[in-house]
Structure 1
């Protein structure tokens, strides 16, 4: 951790960083956590894969998040070391025997499974207190940017068989599903709840917990999704009609929606050309997810000169290349930069709090784990505020 600064401009003036820096805004993380705690009708689990930095975990804990969705021994260790009192849910549906045993020893009691074979494997290496969380596959067409049911999740027939086998073994199973990452249609959550209730009924197995997964959106420049409050409204209504009468509790496991606005990425212009810029980070680093999300994950950005002042020239679309020797290291969309952008300037890409640090590789030895805290909001595109009426005016950075 480099330190805490009131603004990005002050950080640039003090540090003049030559390597990419991940900027964390804990006040934005805290606000997102409060939104879920206040709005979602059940427990909120944080999907640690999005951002496992200790400051992120501690900030969410301080705001009341007590449950964490982990997917590897590394994530289990990070949560256990940072937050010894946290409850962990191992929601990766394909685990090695060693991973299962390690998780059990570290206090994990909820394990995702999506077939009888995984259920048997987990049962052999845990104990009677283990809770198998049977994952149901959701049909395509939910409006998500990333469909997550092609790799994991049971078909209805396999779901019923797995649920029945878990009950026959003496366990008290739970259910989960995932509508897909960056889901643009709140109705997908009602669909998932309806399928889960119908299929548990067909299996003749009573469950006490349904985890609706993640998929709640962050608001990128091209995102066309209702405000988060509408997702909560749809889920509350579905809960009241479908699951609450059966005594079923709900949980969710957001990642992107909790932390995307809590982080940005500060990169430097290594070389300005007439029609392009070369940056010190790219699709093999902190901007990896843009390769997969393309236009759907169009990032807000701004340009700051080396003395901390904003560039204000007329916008011009430029190709943005990353720093590696790979010709594919180029952003999937042109960046609109002020025409007075020069070599040595900085570009701050917002909404990198989710997946930016975690997906970065070390190709060509160019990975940067540098982190600094910024105390004010990103001074630019703030879709969440634009889409939610009644919000207080954010405390924007003053350059």
Structure 2
């Protein structure tokens, strides 16, 4: 396995008459696979079987989970945790070589009790740890309700702990009664993605989609390492965000004078795109270079390769520079501009949700309309439809349903894909 790393400025030209400039840098990262070099999957399913999951919801989730077993290989590992107001091990961490026995245990889940998400995550991490060596460790945490018997802060702490041990948590909200803020924060803290299963018949497809994603992971524990040139700095407020495959605000760490951002898993068929907001002072011409060459930064990826047992490997550095011009003419990179719009769509939708919580329906509708226009600009027609529809509902005096709010959140975080035929 190796790393693909490329960098593009929103505009490579800088106006020499200005003492400083602001630019956005799009950094695109993925893993490159070689035949036979991938590590086995170590998957943990953390499944809510509380009383509200009774009947068709739990039946479809169990079927989706059993189908996943058939899509895994013998060298993969699987564990299953069931939780209501307490958590239990349904399938101990093991190789997927006794599929019928595993599926039988999944089928034994019965609906009862309340909901304690954090207990489910805690036990899931314990089981995943047993098969962690030399594998890609991923957990799917599914729930249909609020964490009424648990503690959300505790769930967030377990999610952050997972990333420290090179494990990734994905959350799946089933139906319309789960808390989108809580599941999004768990997924963001755990380095994973948030999935919305609106109706039982969608469960199988969403499980398969998420399984395809984790099966494509080639490298783990990836960190973006930026060595800034003198007189280049990142923005103070929200300086770095991921915009693909979904949008997440990324926390920044400093190691000496080096900027470090944890990216987590690198997939072989899905690019991870990060936007960095930079302020550049035009006094740092590169020594020994043409007078108009401005050094910006050097970017590298630090990563682990589970298949090879390698940790803290470093990719070759990619140097980023700009051109200082006297007769400045803006040369916007259209692809970077689209990626910037993805971040704008997310932040506009966040503002809309905040205004709605404050009771400002007019302000929320206006921000949703702005987000819809932004989605159209970037070619995301499906998200634009969702956002504009909800803006129109607010303007007409109609309350947004829980389903509407969840669709809005998902539309803000990613480019919506049309449903499968």
| Length-normalised TM-score, structure 2 | 0.24
The structure richer in strand per residue is: 2
